[in-house]
Amino acid sequence: MVLDAGCGRVSALTAFRPRIARLVGVDIHAPEPPLAWLDEFRIADLCTMPDAFPAASFDVVLSSFTLEHFADPDAAMRHIHGWLRPGGTLIVTTVNRRHPLVNAYLSLPPAVGRPLQRTVKATAADAHPLVGACNSPRRVREALSEAGFVAIQIRTTAHLARAWQRRLPAFGLGLLGDVAAQRFPERRSTIVARARVAPLDE
């Protein structure tokens, strides 16, 4: 069973749907229209609701560009760890504050940041409040380790142009940012992390 934690309106998991026996989505609000590719959807705040799912429910959890929105990312990682079965896998993607443009974007006051989000995101509905409390490779590793995850692997990749492709000026700025950071892995715009819950025999 697989959980899309912060499923939004689209998911990278849809490409793998034929191989997933049961796919569950969770977010802080219900998608409109309902997501046909999910077997189940729940409304929950991952930071404050450890009982949103029973313990050891899932084999895989995906958290795709949600970590930057969490008010308490450490709690969210602990809760996800509890929902995974022994040996289960968590995949996290999130933005990287080590990239200067991402840091500037996350640091904007809400009065400026929210309108800008609605400009650069794929749709205005994708513009959620930004926190950025756990958005460097080091900080992501710390949060996963403190939550109890093992076999933590972290890499970075260039994703800014794709994320900001809705408007041509934003796409151009993102492309320049991706090219400028390409030689500096710690500063690439997107963090991709993989971690596991320790199997019972370890």
Range(s) of the domain holding residue 124: 2-196
DSSP 166-181: TSHHHHHHHHHHHHHH
Asked whether residue 188 is assigned to any structural domain, the reply reads yes
For the chain, the domain total comes to: 1
Q: What are the backbone dihedrals phi and psi of residue 62, each rounded to the nearest 5 degrees, phi first?
A: -110, 130
Look at residue 124 and tell me whether its pLDDT is greater than 60: no
**What is the structure's pLDDT at 8?**
78
Asked whether residue 202 is assigned to any structural domain, the reply reads no
48-84 per-position pLDDT tens digit? 999 999 999 999 999 999 999 999 999 999 999 999 9
Judge contact between 33 and 51, C-beta under 8 A: no
> Beta strand pairing status for 150-157 and 190-196?
antiparallel
Which one, of 107, 125, 13, 112, lies nearest residue 68 by Cα? 107
Identify the sign of the CA torsion 70, 75, 81, 84: negative
107-116 per-position pLDDT tens digit? 888 777 666 6
